[in-house]
């Protein structure tokens, strides 16, 4: 029996609270984003040497950025710490080499011989002279002319040759001649020279560079700023204050969370006795999810091998066919595709349940959307292959590889993806429309629709920049997608899906489910919206991004600490000591609830512990771009969003399968559940976390460029742990992914047990 409270409407202040959080959060983040345009490192009209000879121009710098993006170098190495981890950080590598060349030039100017031939005292004197030279900002704002010293000019001329050899001879994960056009290499060198200048030259009226003195490079005077220390300390105060406040609230109001006021309904609250035609079509989405998931983890396995044997793959030369930059692109893009497909399929599967009827033509729309999704997936993957191999000419940005991590697919494919999301939103609205008109179901249904709309709306920032936009501005909008779209509104929509599933199963009342969604929105978005700025500490923005990002990202940990309680609530929801109160539908979905329990654990560990570890500005200053970043990424991205997507998949497979068919596949799903969790844990314990700690120590002791060099990554404990990681990868793929894929395909296409019948009253 449900309590009397469960039938009463929620206080309107839940809705008002969520709207206030959204309004204040986006107003603040919008201001910080607009400031990125003003604070971005300026691109000089021309760069000249001491004699006034032009070394390169603004056009050369922007042409070089296009080269960097077209050939997906951000999916090979990093720039300003963001990107992939096999190659170097291109800006830090140029900076370190620049310092060495400037130092050697000074040695010849002052002593008539090279630096290595000087006495120790002379070497120390020259080394101490480097920071004042390299950190002086010689950009004339009136003429937009940047003047290089003799050493800086010599560095540019020499590094132009060195980078030409780098790409001609073949780099780790890249084939020889990856960039063949000498003019493109020259332009790329100009771009790296500008990116390096932004990391060392002090901002006007500031004692730190445009990137907040990142990377750590004592040779040029780049050390942590007082701002990084201050806002790290203050963010801890925000964390402790937030934890205290939320624990007090949850202790005072013990009905918060999934347990509600107690007394969940014994029977399902939403009709679900048979599949609608569109739900039959939606099961095909989960077959696609399984296939894309398999492809994604196979590319991940190949990437891991690139890191231990950059020049080979069990005797095969993959570099010429699939460079690391392309393989990593596919790995990240397929992850977004299969998780997003699970949300789309889950929404279509549950919408008729919530709406109570099947709109005419809904099945046709679902099939058409699936076909459109296939075009986007295979079209973009093919375009990226052609793009990085320079086979699309001037159309590379539209049909090839945009070159920005997580937003790699060409602009044309992005337009199609956005159109597909709009079609999905239309299909969702048609199915949910009856429930929107029903006062008893309107609140939760409206949240379902709003969360779905958020996924569509917050993909739009992907169109707010172009190939020649200042990189600092590109990165600002890029993290609107990575953080807000993926980590924010994906998670909010997932919460709504879980709320609908629990209501469907009769585990919670609509009142409890609605409150949990509002609570999720308030808690997550309070820190999450403004907390987006924690990605911008060192990407060309000012101290305000560090202040807001550090403090509000610390608050993101607060709701994550409550997920351990969620995991226990999931256990209690599906269990009851009284046989009369046991819910048969919930018992059928035990495995889906197990995946949700795993989400709670990994969200706390991956997003909470590992995320907070690298979010403090002072830690991020040394850590950014080390293996502690993918340590957080794997545990949070797959452990949270991946497990959520698989929970929806398992839920839909069980709901759409007869008891006979489910008996055949349940064991595979169960094996897959444990294989995925154990495999992911082994990846973290055997490699990602300890290797990240060792690399972080190398940054602190020897500088960032060294810790990212082959001299470090291909030797010692770091390299050995990459080999040991194979154990976790093997368990993840063989015992986790393969059983899950087999089970899904049997559940969707198997003939051993028919799907639940379609009700005659639901027209197709």
SS3 track for 234-294: HHHHHHHHHHHHHHHHHHHCCCCCCCCCCCCCCCCCCCCCCCCHHHHHHHHHHHHHHHHHH
Token couple for 368: 């058409």
Residues 598 and 460 in one domain: no
- Contact between 440 and 433 under an 8 Å Cβ cutoff? The reply is no
CA distance 493 to 497: 6
pTM: 0.92
Three-state secondary-structure class, residue 658: coil
Say whether both 306 and 413 belong to one domain: yes
Kindly state whether residue 31 falls inside one of the protein's structural domains. Answer: no
Q: Are residues 312 and 421 in the same domain?
A: yes
Which has the higher per-residue pLDDT, 331 or 553?
A: 331
Which whole-number Å values give the CA distances from 761 to 243, 280, 360, 441, in the listed order?
51, 15, 11, 21
Same domain for 49 and 9: no
Number of structural domains, the chain? 3
In whole angstroms, give the CA distance from residue 394 to residue 423. Answer: 30
Angle of CA points 457, 458, 460, to nearest 5°: 75
Is there a single domain that holds both residue 114 and residue 71?
yes
For the residues of 158-169, what is the DSSP string, one character each? HHHHHHHHHHHH
DSSP state of 410: -
Domain identity same for 312 and 347: yes
Model confidence at 273, pLDDT cuts 50, 70, 90, reads low
pLDDT score, position 24 = 95
**Six-digit token pair at 691?**
């290797």
- Among candidate residues 168, 192, 223, the one where a domain is terminated: 223
Q: What CA–CA distance (Å, rounded) separates 509 from 3?
A: 10
Q: For the segment 390-429, what is each residue's pLDDT rounded down to a tens digit?
A: 999 999 999 999 999 999 999 999 999 999 999 999 999 9
381: tokens are 């993957």
Do 318 and 185 belong to one domain?
no
Q: Would 417 be classed as within a structural domain?
A: yes
| Domain encompassing residue 200 | 40-223
Q: Assess whether 57 and 167 both reside in one domain.
A: yes
Helix residue spans in 437-573 (DSSP H): 442-457, 471-479, 490-505, 510-528, 543-555, 557-561, 563-573
Residue 581 falls inside a structural domain: no
Check pLDDT > 70 for residue 582. no
Q: Please choose, from the candidates 396, 305, 347, the residue with its C-alpha nearest in 3D space to the C-alpha of residue 67.
A: 396
Are the C-beta atoms of residues 554 and 615 closer than 8 Å to each other?
Answer: yes
Domain assignment present for 104? yes
pLDDT in tens, 595-651: 988 888 888 898 888 998 999 999 999 999 999 999 999 999 999 889 999 999 999
Q: What's residue 640's pLDDT?
A: 86
Distance CA 100, CA 535 (A): 30
Are 407 and 280 found together in one domain? yes
Task: Determine the Cα–Cα distance for residues 647 and 598; give it in Å rounded to an integer.
Answer: 9
Residue 543 lies in a domain: no
Query: Can the peptide bond before residue 231 be classed as cis, meaning omega within 30 degrees of 0?
Result: no
CB 472 within 8 Å of CB 433: no
Here the CATH number for the domain that contains residue 3 is 1.20.210.10
Question: Considering 159, 193, 223, which residue would you say is the last residue of a domain?
Answer: 223
Where does a domain end: 189, 205, 223? 223
In angstroms, the CA 637 to CA 338 distance is 12
* Residue at 566 is within a domain: no
Domain check: are 62 and 9 in the same one? no
Domain assignment of residue 228, yes or no: no
Read off the pLDDT band of 764 (50, 70, 90): very low
193 occurs within a structural domain: yes
| 50 and 189 fall within a common domain | yes
Give the other-Cβ count within 10 Å of 615's Cβ: 24
Query: 134 and 277 share a domain?
Result: no
What would the pLDDT profile of 76-125 be if each residue is shown by its tens digit? 999 999 999 999 999 999 999 999 999 999 999 999 998 889 899 999 99
């Amino acid at each position: 029996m449900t309590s009397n409270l469960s039938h009463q409407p929620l206080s309107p202040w839940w809705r008002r609270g969520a709207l206030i959080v959204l309004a204040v959060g986006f107003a603040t983040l919008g201001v910080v984003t607009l400031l990125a345009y003003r604070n971005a490192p300026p691109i000089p009209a021309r760069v000249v040497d001491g004699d006034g000879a032009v070394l390169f121009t603004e056009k050369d710098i922007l042409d070089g950025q296009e080269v960097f993006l077209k050939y997906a170098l951000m999916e090979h190495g990093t720039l300003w710490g963001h990107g992939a981890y096999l190659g170097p950080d291109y800006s830090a590598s140029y900076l370190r080499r620049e310092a060495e060349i400037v130092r050697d030039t000074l040695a010849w100017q002052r002593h008539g011989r090279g630096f290595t031939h000087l006495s120790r005292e002379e070497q120390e004197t020259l080394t101490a002279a480097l920071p004042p030279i390299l950190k002086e900002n010689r950009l004339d704002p009136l003429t937009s002319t940047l003047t290089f010293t003799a050493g800086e000019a010599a560095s540019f001329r020499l590094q132009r040759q060195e980078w030409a050899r780098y790409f001609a001879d073949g780099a780790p994960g890249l084939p020889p001649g990856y960039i063949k056009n000498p003019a493109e290499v020259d332009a790329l060198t100009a771009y790296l020279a500008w990116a390096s200048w932004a990391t060392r030259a002090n901002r006007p009226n500031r004692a730190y560079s445009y990137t907040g003195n990142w990377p750590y490079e004592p040779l040029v005077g780049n050390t942590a700023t007082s701002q990084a220390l201050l806002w790290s300390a203050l963010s801890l105060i925000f964390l402790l204050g937030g934890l205290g406040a939320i624990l007090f609230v949850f202790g005072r109001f013990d009905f918060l969370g999934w347990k509600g006021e107690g007394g969940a309904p014994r029977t399902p609250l939403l009709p679900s006795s048979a599949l609608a035609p569109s739900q039959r079509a939606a099961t095909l989405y989960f077959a696609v999810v399984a296939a894309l998931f398999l492809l994604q983890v196979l590319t991940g396995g190949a990437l891991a091998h690139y890191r231990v044997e950059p020049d080979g793959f069990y005797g095969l030369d993959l570099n010429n066919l699939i460079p690391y930059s392309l393989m990593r692109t596919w790995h990240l893009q397929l992850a977004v595709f299969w998780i997003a497909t699970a949300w789309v399929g889950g929404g279509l599967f549950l919408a008729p349940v919530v709406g109570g009827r099947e709109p005419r033509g809904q099945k046709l729309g679902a099939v058409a959307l699936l076909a459109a999704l296939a075009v986007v997936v295979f079209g973009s993957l093919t375009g990226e292959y052609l793009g990085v191999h320079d086979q699309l000419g001037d159309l590379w940005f539209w049909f090839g590889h945009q070159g920005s991590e997580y937003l790699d697919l060409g602009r044309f494919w992005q337009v199609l993806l956005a159109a597909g999301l709009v079609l999905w939103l239309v299909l969702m609205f048609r199915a949910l429309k009856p429930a929107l008109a029903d006062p008893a179901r309107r609140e939760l249904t409206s949240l379902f629709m709003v969360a779905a709309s958020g996924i569509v709306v917050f993909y739009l920032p992907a169109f707010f920049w172009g190939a020649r936009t200042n990189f600092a501005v590109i990165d600002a909008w890029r993290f609107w997608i990575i953080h807000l779209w993926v980590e924010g509104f994906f998670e909010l929509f997932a919460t709504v899906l879980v709320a609908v599933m629990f209501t469907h199963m009769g585990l919670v009342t609509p009142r409890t489910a609605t409150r949990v969604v509002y609570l999720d929105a308030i808690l997550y978005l309070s820190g999450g919206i403004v907390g987006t700025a924690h990605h911008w500490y060192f990407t060309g923005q000012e101290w305000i991004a560090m202040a807001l990002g550090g403090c509000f990202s610390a608050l993101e940990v607060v709701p994550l600490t409550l997920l351990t309680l969620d995991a226990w609530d999931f256990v209690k929801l599906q269990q009851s000591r009284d046989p009369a109160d046991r819910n048969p539908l919930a018992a059928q979905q035990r495995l889906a609830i197990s995946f949700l329990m795993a989400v709670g654990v990994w969200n706390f560990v991956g997003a909470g512990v590992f995320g907070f570890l690298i979010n403090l500005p002072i830690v991020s200053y040394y850590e950014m771009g080390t293996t502690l970043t993918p340590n957080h990424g794997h545990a949070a991205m797959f452990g949270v969003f991946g497990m959520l997507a698989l929970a929806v998949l398992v839920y839909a497979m069980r709901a759409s399968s007869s008891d006979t068919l489910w008996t055949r596949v349940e064991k595979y799903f169960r094996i897959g559940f444990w294989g995925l969790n154990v495999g992911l844990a082994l990846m973290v314990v055997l490699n990602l976390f300890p290797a990240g700690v060792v690399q972080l120590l190398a940054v602190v002791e020897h500088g960032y460029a060294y810790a990212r060099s082959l001299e470090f990554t291909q030797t010692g404990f770091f390299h050995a742990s990459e080999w040991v990681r194979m154990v976790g990868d093997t368990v993840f793929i063989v015992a986790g992914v393969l059983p899950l894929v087999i089970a899904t395909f049997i559940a969707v296409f198997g003939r051993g047990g028919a799907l639940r019948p379609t009700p005659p009253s639901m027209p197709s």
